[in-house]
Each structure stands twice: as C-alpha cells, then as structure tokens.
Amino acid sequence: MQWYDTGVLGMLFVVLLVLFILYNIYRTEHKKKDLYIRRIPGLNAIDDAIGRSTEMGRPVLMVPGIGTLNAISVQALSIFAHITKAAAQFGTPIRICLADAAVYTVAQEIIRDVYQQQGLIDRYDTDSVRFLTDRQFAFAAGVSGLILREKVAAAFFLGEWYAESLIFAETANSIGAIQIAGSTEKSQTPFFIAACDYVLIGDEFYAASAYLTRQPILVGSLVGQDWAKIAMAACVLFGFLVNSAQRLPETDMHRVPLKDGAPEVWSQLSDDQKADLETAETWAKGEKANATEDTGLYRLFNPFYSKEDLTVKRAKKPSGAAGATE
C-alpha cells in the first residue's frame, strides 16, 4: 500500500530521464567523439566583451543573480570562471557582486582557483569578489552604484534573477556597457531582451559550460537532456492524442450514478466493479479535490484508489511516549 498516492509512474518517468542523462555522460566520455552543439550567439560574444573591456581598461562585471547556493548559482559561477580565465590572461580587472553569503564563499574559492591555475595569483584582487547585501533592492542599488562609479565596460548577468534585472540592465545600458544576460526565472527574460545585447533563453544557460569547455561529461549530459526533452514531448503528444480521442465521444455524456439511475445494469455488476464505481463516483464529487481530471493520461499518473487502499492499520505507541508537539 506504501506505493499508493505517491504516483509511482511519475517517479519512474523521472528515473528514466535521469538514466538518459547518466547513460549519455558515460557514452560520450568513453567515445571521445566531438559532438555538434548549435551556435549560441550570446556565448560567442563573451570574448568580444572581454576584449572591449581590456581595450578600454575598465572592469568586467559579473553577477550570478540573487538566488541562494543551488545548481543555478553554481552553474553561473562555472561560466564566470571561464570568463575570469580569459580576463586573468589579459589582466582585465573583474568585479563579482554577490547577494548571498553562501554563494560568496564558493565564488571566492572558485575565482582564486582560476587565478592559481593560470599561474597569475599575483593578479588576483581579494576585493574583486564582494558580498554586498542579501536585501534584493539594496543589492540593486549597490550594484547600480558600482556600475556607474567604475564605468564597467562589460556586464554578465547570469543566474536566478528577479525584479532587479531591469534595474541592472538599464543602468549598464545607460553607460554603454556591452551586456550578456540570462535568467532561469522566465518572467525576467523579457526584461533582459528589452535592455541587453545578448540574452541566453531558458536552458541555453545550462548549456553554456558544455558549449564553452566541450568537456565530454558536460556535452554528454547535454545530449541526455535532449533525449529527455524528446521523451517529454512524446509524452505530451501521446497525452494529446489519448485525451482528444477520449473527449470526442464524451461531448454529450453525463455521468449517471448507475446504482440509482440504471439499477438493472448495476445488479449485473460484480462486487469489485461496484466498489470501483462507487469510489470513482465519490472522487468525481470532489472528495479528493486535486484529482480533478478524468482523462486517460491523467489517470495513468494519478490512479483511483479507494479509501481502504490508502489506510494502513498500525499499532499505537504507548500513550505519553510520543509527539509532545501534539
């Protein structure tokens, strides 16, 4: 009974997607074959942006959004590490502004590592990686001030962005900085498109490190993601066909409780069938408020269970021993 109500099929589907990614990582690492990744203009422009900063002798600004330490900020930092590598070689100053203390500590380590690996640790300025504040708009004010005071020549806004996106982008635009941006928050992408030179849309952000470094593991993972996308699209197509087919004959159908509406049919049913129908009817009345759809694919992922299926008999703990929070 434990597997009920958790949606086993949904979980198996996610496991399948995970296997796609892992298998492709394995495959690419062992094949050592160069795979084609389509052109992403925003990423091609990185070197131009750094070159421009170097010529003008002004800093490159990088901000990984205001998210906490998660996959998004680590991904942003790994792109920034690539940018820093180029900047370190040219001796271009960098500024990385952080709005989360945890991301700040990780960023500091990564950036110092980059300079160390390049053998240019003397060029590393400890103040180039800065924690400003974790207040969203105080951060926006702080970074805008830095953009205007230091007249940055190139700005990279990649990561988890919220309402502050446009403040940064318009401020940098006003001093003519070249801007490359991308947000995993899809609601902010339009703002970036209106104000920035290049924008990474959606998962282009995650493809960036594979695109820039061509490491087999990253490229393999990208191929796995594509497989997963195809699987999801196939699922949607299948659902569309199943649901449409199901809806066609249903246009004039009304659900009549068989027990009262058609007793002659009801009497011919087996006990199991009766029980199933009764469950279906109570659920259709909205007892389980969220299982609202009757379509085949929805039911495949959210099957009907009776109340008995979802009840487990267990012995009770001796009284007083448990749950002081009760």
Torsions phi, psi for 34 (to 5 deg)? -75, 125
Confirm or reject binding of residue 291 to another protein (CB under 8 A). yes
State how far the Cα of 70 lies from the Cα of 63, in Å rounded to an integer.
Answer: 15
Q: Which amino acid is at 120?
A: L
Q: How far is the CB of 299 from another protein (least distance, A)?
A: 14
242 vs 269, beta carbon nearer another protein = 242
Shortest Cβ 51–another protein spacing (Å) = 19
Does 119 contact another protein by CB under 8 A? no
Q: Does 299 bind another protein (CB under 8 A)?
A: no
User: Could you give the C-alpha distances from 272 to 3, 276, 279, 313, in angstroms and in order?
Assistant: 21, 6, 11, 22
77 binds another protein (CB under 8 A): yes
Residue 129 and residue 110: Cα distance in Å, rounded?
A: 10
Contacts of 21 (CB under 8 A, 6+ apart): 221, 224, 225, 227, 228
Segment contacting another protein (CB under 8 A): 32-40, 127-135, 246-254, 272-280?
127-135
Is residue 261 a contact residue for another protein (CB under 8 A)? Answer: no
With CB under 8 A as the contact rule, the residue among 74, 280, 284, 300 that binds another protein is 74
Encoded tokens for 159: 């990561």
Is residue 83 a contact partner of residue 51, using CB atoms and an 8 Å limit? no
Residues 224-253 interacting with another protein (rule: CB under 8 A): 224-225, 228-229, 232
Considering beta carbons, is residue 56 or 69 the nearer one to another protein? Answer: 69
Report the SS3 class of residue 61.
Answer: strand
Binding mask 18-37 for another protein (x = CB under 8 A): x--xx--x------------
Contacting another protein within 304-323 (CB under 8 A): 310-312, 314-317, 322-323
Contact with another protein (CB under 8 A) among 102, 121, 237, 265: 102
Type of residue at 59: P
Nearest of 127, 180, 124, 184 to residue 154 by alpha carbon: 180
Q: Name residues whose C-beta falls within 8 Å of residue 22's C-beta, 6 or more positions apart in sequence.
A: 224
207 touches another protein by CB under 8 A: yes
Longest dimension (CA), the chain: 90
Q: Is 16 in the site for another protein (CB under 8 A)?
A: no
Residue span 136-175 as binding mask against another protein, x where in contact by CB under 8 A, dash where not: xxx-xx---x---x------------xx--xx-xx---x-
DSSP state string for 165-183: HHHHHHHHHHTT-EEEEEE
Nearer to another protein, 189 or 258 (CB): 189
User: Least distance in Å: CB of 248 to another protein?
Assistant: 19
Which 3 state secondary structure label does DSSP give 64? strand
Which of residues 50, 178, 195, 258 is near another protein by CB under 8 A? 195
Residue 234: CB minimum distance to another protein, A = 13
Residue 163 DSSP one-character state: T
Output the six-digit token pair for 300.
Answer: 């495949």
What number of chain residues touch another protein (CB under 8 A)? Answer: 100
Whether the Cβ atoms of residue 78 and residue 40 lie closer than 8 Å to each other: no
CB of 182 to another protein, least distance (A): 10
Residue (147 or 195) nearer to another protein, CB: 195
